[in-house]
Structure 1
Amino acid sequence: MGLLLACSGFAMAETATQQPTAQPVRTASNPNAIRIVTRPEIMGLWGMEIPNNKKCVEYYNFRSSNDVVIKSGEEWSYGIYEYQPSDDPKEQLSALVMQIKFDNNKVDCSGQKQDQTGDISQYFVQWKNDHTINFCSTAKGEQCFATLRRMLP
């Protein structure tokens, strides 16, 4: 351990006296460049079967730019979403907020016709596994009312 500390002190002292050197800039044309992009785990296409209408699936497409497109029967909506993952899902679920910017006001899978433009909804997301989530009313995972299954990553 003493040798490691002595060596690291020497390396630090040496780097402090060196002048900074120019580093080559990595560009998109550089084949060795690696770009790491993180994305919300909820991103992708999800489907929810409607209990009263097994023939109709409501789709939620969470896209990379925090846009969401919802398709349900003849209705489709477009909006924005914010997903906040939980630091400890056993204590508190992740939060999802959606605001609908446009709704075509057609009949959805449940047979209802309601213009949801301007509506803001908050859900708590309970992850069952990588391909199944529940929307719940509370951060503790109580009163879960919808199950969504991942259709596409």
Structure 2
Amino acid sequence: MKKTLLLIPLLICTSNFTFAETNSTAPVAASQVITPLAANTIRISTRPEILGLWGMEIPNNKKCVEYYNFRGGNEVVVNSGKEWSIGLFDYQPSPDNTKEKLPALIMQIKYENNQVDCSGYQENQAGEVSQYFVRWKNENTIKFCASEKEDKCFATLNRVLP
């Protein structure tokens, strides 16, 4: 009697494995295939905190806003009045988020349409490289500075879109 009671669960378990094996050979849609590596892998993607659309009001021209769109792939698009510029940027956050050393931002303009900007200037900036220090006032307001000193900040940008 004891042998029969022990054999029944064993047979049930074995039949489940046999059933599972015969089902696993059935065709599966490509979207349903999960490789063991993908099933056990966690990918963490970080992105620079500066990514997004930022706007800067020009002091002498409140009607015109200069926009900086920091996009993925280190691409930046700048729009100021009728001027459009496209380039690359490199954002280096401060080490250990300390306030003693400000984050650095380098931008290189690759192309621009050479139209009049918000300040009324028409200057072809293609090929120019600019370096700024970024002073974070809060998560939605930053200042571009010529040095790490606060008195050397010349532009305030406000976040428009994340």
Match of 2:57 in 1: 49
Aligned amino acid, residue 25 of structure 1: L
Q: How does 1:62-141 map to 2 (within 5 A)?
A: 62-87=70-95, 88-141=97-150
Q: How many residue pairs align between the two structures?
A: 127
C-alpha spacing 1:145/1:60, structure 2 compared with 1 (3 Å)? same
Aligned-pair distance for 1:89? 3.6
Normalised by the length of structure 1, the TM-score is 0.78
Aligned-partner Cα distance in 2 for 1:148–1:128: 10
Match of 1:24 in 2: 36
Aligned amino acid, residue 62 of structure 1: F
More helix by share: 2
Aligned-pair distance for 1:139? 2.1
SS in 2 for 1:65: helix
Aligned-pair identity (%) = 65
Q: Runs of 5+ in structure 1 lacking a partner?
A: 1-22
Higher radius of gyration, 1 or 2: 2
Q: Runs of 5+ in structure 2 lacking a partner?
A: 1-34
Match of 1:40 in 2: 48
Normalised by the length of structure 2, the TM-score is 0.74
Aligned amino acid, residue 84 of structure 2: W
Aligned-partner Cα distance in 1 for 2:102–2:59: 24
Aligned amino acid, residue 152 of structure 1: L
